[in-house]
Structure formats: C-alpha cells, structure tokens
Amino acid sequence: MSAPELAVIVPALDAERTLPRTLGRIPKAGLPPLVVILVDDGSRDGTAEAGRRAAAENGLDLEVLRHDANRGYGAAQKTGLRRALDLGCRFHALLHADGQYAPEELPAVVRPLIAGRADMVFGTRVGSGQALAQGMPRSRYLGNRAISLLENLVFGLHFVEYHAGYTAYSTLALRRIEFAGLTDRFHFDGEMLLCAGKLGLRVAEVPIATHYGPESSSLPALPYLWEIAGICGRYLRRGYFFQRRPPS
C-alpha cells in the first residue's frame, strides 16, 4: 500500500452506532492514498471495535488512538493531528463520526489543498445558501449568523462562519498554527480558522451540505456560547494571543 498522503481524522465519543456507516461512505475515488485516524475519546461503548470492523469491511487503512477518559472535541483533534504529522501526511481532514457532514464531500473539501490553492479549507453550511432547506433549525441558523458576525467584528476578519466542523489543513498550516495551545473543547475549529486568518494563510471556504437527523450530535448551547464569549473577551483584552511565533 502506498504511504498515506491524506489523514482523515475522526474524533469519536460513544459512536458505535453511527461510525460504521460514516466510514463506509468515505469515497473510494477522488482522494489520494489515505489513512483514517480514529480518536476514541474515552468512549464507554464499542466505538473502537466498530471502527476496526468497518475499516476491514471497506478496505480502509485505520489507526485507532484512545484516550482513557474523555478529554474533549478539540483535544481529540489535537491527538489525531499530531499523529498525522508524525506519519508525514501532506493533507489532513476532519470527519465527524455521526455522519452530519457527508463523507462523500471529502474530495471537494480537500481539493483546494491538493491543487495548492489553499492552506486551510473550511466547509461552510450557511455558505451554500441551502442550510435551512437541508433541515438546519432556524434558531441555529440565525444564531450561527449572528455569532459569526460578532466574531468577524471582534477579530477583524471576514469569514462566512466559524461554527462548522468540516475542515482540512495542509502540513504548512499545522506547522504554523500552534494548535496545542488552543481549546480542548467545542470551538477548536473556529480557533483554527481565526489563527489561519490572522497568520495570513490562504483559507478556502467551501459550501457543504449538512444532514440533521436524530443521530446527529448537538452542542449544548450555553456552554458553547460561554466559550465563544471567553475567546472574544481574551482577544479584546490581549490582542492576537493564539500565535506568537514569527512566520518562518
């Protein structure tokens, strides 16, 4: 098997039921040689075993990394990203275990990286113009738009949104962003986008479809809003504090 060029990082918590179908939907064409890095973030069910079975059934190269206790969404991504860098992968994509973000869209998400047009790709639900028609709750849509507008005003950036979880990175982006110091919680993706914007990295915003069903995960609203408020407050007090290392 060829050395993997693409790492597909799947943070998973108690995802035994949804993970097999998600892995089975990863396209067999349109992607470079890949490895799936499953980060079992302290699951209490058979997430890891379900992942291994699904990978074997679908011919996927799989590595399983396990946290003995739940550390958080951002912490699971950090574990996967570090491993992907150790493996020497050139491209790195995040895929949610619950299938809310369609695995079939992976080729479109990583294409700007492979073509050399971007250092980071951020899949945006609201950028497609179809979020409400695809089932995004109106309250979530309006909240997303309002909070993203606020963050753009605070950070001096102009992104469509900060609150989707379909992201991809070049190795350059991961080397430039000191992601180990970012949140271990829900807003890791948004902080990565903020860092990329402030570092002047090339960010491609790619419209994506999103599925909302009973199996899809949902963030608790108040803790998430409190986390965002904390990030904005620290930024206003201290300026750009996520990245201190000068560009190489």
Strand partners, 12: 40
- Alpha-carbon distance of 19 to 39, in angstroms, equals 12
Mind listing the pLDDT tens digit of every residue in the chain (248 residues)? 567 999 999 999 999 999 999 999 999 999 999 999 999 999 999 999 999 999 999 999 999 999 999 999 999 999 999 999 999 999 999 999 998 899 999 999 999 999 999 999 999 876 556 656 666 777 777 777 788 888 889 898 999 888 788 999 999 999 999 999 898 998 899 899 999 999 999 999 999 887 655 554 556 677 778 888 888 888 887 765 554 444 43
Question: Does residue 137 sit within a domain?
Answer: yes
User: How many domains does one find in the chain?
Assistant: 1
Q: Would you give the DSSP letter of residue 215?
A: T
Question: Does residue 156 sit within a domain?
Answer: yes
CB 80 within 8 A of CB 181: no
Question: Does residue 1 sit within a domain?
Answer: no
> What is the pTM (predicted TM-score) of this model?
0.87
- Alpha-carbon distance of 140 to 124, in angstroms, equals 14
Close Cβ partners of 91 (under 8 Å, ≥ 6 residues apart):
5, 6, 7, 32, 110, 113, 114, 168, 169, 170, 171
Question: Does residue 93 sit within a domain?
Answer: yes
How many beta carbons lie within 10 A of that of residue 180, not counting itself? 8
Question: Does residue 233 sit within a domain?
Answer: yes
Question: Does residue 244 sit within a domain?
Answer: no
Question: Does residue 176 sit within a domain?
Answer: yes
**Residue of 223, 220, 216 lying closest to 135 (CA atoms):** 216
Give pLDDT, residue 78: 98
CATH number of the domain bearing residue 167: 3.90.550.10
- Find the DSSP H helices in 33-187: 47-58, 73-87, 106-114, 138-155, 171-176
Question: Does residue 127 sit within a domain?
Answer: yes
Question: The domain containing residue 49 runs over which residues?
Answer: 6-238
